[in-house]
Structure 1
Amino acid sequence: MRVVELASLAPAPFGCMVLADLGADVVRVDRPGGPGAGRLAAPTTGPLQRGRRATALDLKSPDGVADLLRLVERADVLVEAYRPGVAERLGVGPQTCRDRNPRLVYARLTGWGQDGPLAARAGHDIDYIAVAGALEPLGRAGERPHAPMNLIGDFAGGGLLLATGVLAALLERERSGVGQVVDAAMVDGSALLTSFLHGLLGAGGWSAPRGRNLLDGGAPFYDTYRTADDGFLAVGALEPAFYAALLTGLGLADDPDLPAQYDPTGWPELRRRFAARFAERARDEWTAVFADLDACVAPVLAPTEAHRHPHNAARGTFVEVGGEVQPAPAPRFGRTPTATPRPAPDPGAPLDVSAIVDGWPARP
């Protein structure tokens, strides 16, 4: 699968990284002279850029547009993450590209989508998840909503949605013989991620304010706890069997004064007791205590140490690419396993478009 990626910030590069991990030949089209200045300039190195080849084209010049359309003629997918209308003004919009290649899947990733009152407005992850209803439920009781980095809007609701849409459009193309436009919007993807929450709301299972429900830190048996060495343990003992194992590990199984698990009026006391007990030992000591107990208790690992966890090490959940530890491709395939990704291309040595086109023979 041949993918042309117009260089941009995190969400679309992540989606193209996923496609590259799965075996696509992704060519990133950079601006001449590099990504530009500023902290939020599109990076050309790092995990999100792995597995690519790269060229540089000035899409504000006729020659740059002509070269891009040469790539489009032999590509399967084009990915762009401009604001609505920008690609059309540059002369590389969906209709122009599909006139050159009717089988092209033209994938567009934006925050607000290609239409609607906010389509032309700027925004970031925090804005998209706010409007999607995905931000309000996140946070401690009595506190303001708390954004979980930019994982929901940019990556899960953006880049991963883009990759899913591309794969679905390619599958449909095998039946119809023609491509189509994929309109992936981060506000749509963020809303989609709240499907389970909407089910809980409809069933009356999420009725308390933020931070007081079963899965948002309201329940003391689904929360994090500080340990004696200022580490943290994640506790997810929702079901009675796991809760019983949790009490066993904490040495509280025979305590007759513990409130009932599912009685919210007793949750403050349960939390106090759990917090006091977890504070007695270091994180790794507690990890050893729960190693043979199915209590749904796990150490909270920093990104810099996650690759050393025995389970991650055994599965190869992380790999080293170009001397940098980073997440391995996922999911896994039994017959056609993914390879270790190549490092990001050298931004100072863009490939010549003719060399790329020559390596992409015309489709029959």
Structure 2
Amino acid sequence: MFAVLGVLAALIERQGSGRGQVIDAAIVNGAPVLGHVLWSMLGDGRWSDQRGTNIFDGSAPFYCTYECADGGYVAVGALEPEFFGEMLRLLEIDPGTLGAQRDKAGWPEMRRVLAETFRQRSRDEWSRVFADSDACVTPVLTVVEAADDAQLQARNVFVEVDGVRQPAPAPLFSRTPALRPVPARDGSLTPTSRPPSR
């Protein structure tokens, strides 16, 4: 993607300068750019190199996964106070019993209460509870379940070609639809007669 971005940016720049240029889009440069939030947090003291102590590595009880009654899981990403409050409201948990959301000293108890609560219903039951909310709680789906998601189906994100489900071409264009991939039939690429060997 960085290579594509680089080519497009270079084409735009060429319109002004009239000159082309070499684009260096090495993955070692692109990966840290994708992790810019972590570098920002490290810079202002909100990130530690110690495993399990950071908000995005499972230590925060409001940004992790929880097992449900049926063995399925839900993912919680209620980072902002309003989303956290909405999650607690739908879980029917009194916020006053948990302490402040960002107080790490209270996180073990908060995790215990949330884990105990999520184990009371199945994953799909929790999915229905949170379906129309901004609480940032979603089911953890299998690959097949994800492909069957209503939103993905409505957008035709997956297509079936010769009985094989696969991602549809992307991105989508308003005037030039992409061709759907069609695999070669068995033997269709094999010549019926071979040229003489030399």
TM-score, with structure 1 as normaliser: 0.46
Choose the corresponding residue for 1:287, options 127, 133, 150. 127
State the partner residue of 2:166.
326
Counterparts of 1:177 and 1:322, CA distance in 2 = 47
Q: Offset of 1:165 from its aligned partner?
A: 2.5
8 Å CA contact retained: 2:172, 2:178: no
Counterparts of 1:340 and 1:305, CA distance in 2 = 25
- SS of 2:125's partner is helix
Q: Offset of 1:161 from its aligned partner?
A: 2.0
Aligned-residue CA RMSD in angstroms? 2.7
Counterparts of 1:161 and 1:344, CA distance in 2 = 29
Q: Which amino acid aligns with 2:157?
A: T
8 Å CA contact retained: 1:328, 1:340: no
Counterparts of 1:173 and 1:341, CA distance in 2 = 33
State the partner residue of 1:265.
105
Q: Which amino acid aligns with 1:339?
A: A
Choose the corresponding residue for 1:222, options 63, 66, 69. 63
Counterparts of 2:19 and 2:176, CA distance in 1 = 29
Please state if 1:300 is matched with 2:137. Answer: no
Please state if 1:314 is matched with 2:154. Answer: yes
Pair 185,247 (structure 1): closer, same or farther in 2 beyond 3 Å: same
Please state if 1:211 is matched with 2:52. Answer: yes
Larger relative contact order (Cα-Cα within 8 Å, sequence gap ≥ 6): 1
1:192-203 paired onto structure 2 within 5 Å? 192-203=33-44
- SS of 1:183's partner is coil
Please state if 1:165 is matched with 2:6. Answer: yes
Q: Which amino acid aligns with 1:262?
A: R
Q: Offset of 1:299 from its aligned partner?
A: 0.8
8 Å CA contact retained: 1:233, 1:299: yes
Q: Offset of 1:273 from its aligned partner?
A: 1.0
Pair 182,297 (structure 1): closer, same or farther in 2 beyond 3 Å: same
- SS of 1:325's partner is strand
Q: Offset of 1:235 from its aligned partner?
A: 0.6
State the partner residue of 1:343.
182
Between the two proteins, the alignment pairs up a number of residues equal to 189
Pair 242,340 (structure 1): closer, same or farther in 2 beyond 3 Å: farther
Seq. identity, %: 50
Q: Offset of 1:181 from its aligned partner?
A: 3.4
Q: Which amino acid aligns with 2:146?
A: A
Pair 340,298 (structure 1): closer, same or farther in 2 beyond 3 Å: farther
State the partner residue of 1:97.
none
Structure 2 alignment gaps of length 5 or more? 191-198
Runs (4+) of structure 1 exceeding 6 A deviation are none
Counterparts of 2:55 and 2:21, CA distance in 1 = 42
State the partner residue of 1:233.
74
Q: Offset of 1:340 from its aligned partner?
A: 4.9
Counterparts of 2:19 and 2:100, CA distance in 1 = 60
State the partner residue of 1:251.
92
- SS of 1:224's partner is strand
Q: Which amino acid aligns with 2:84?
A: Y
- SS of 2:25's partner is strand
Counterparts of 1:341 and 1:172, CA distance in 2 = 33
Q: Which amino acid aligns with 2:149?
A: H
State the partner residue of 1:181.
22
Counterparts of 2:149 and 2:109, CA distance in 1 = 33
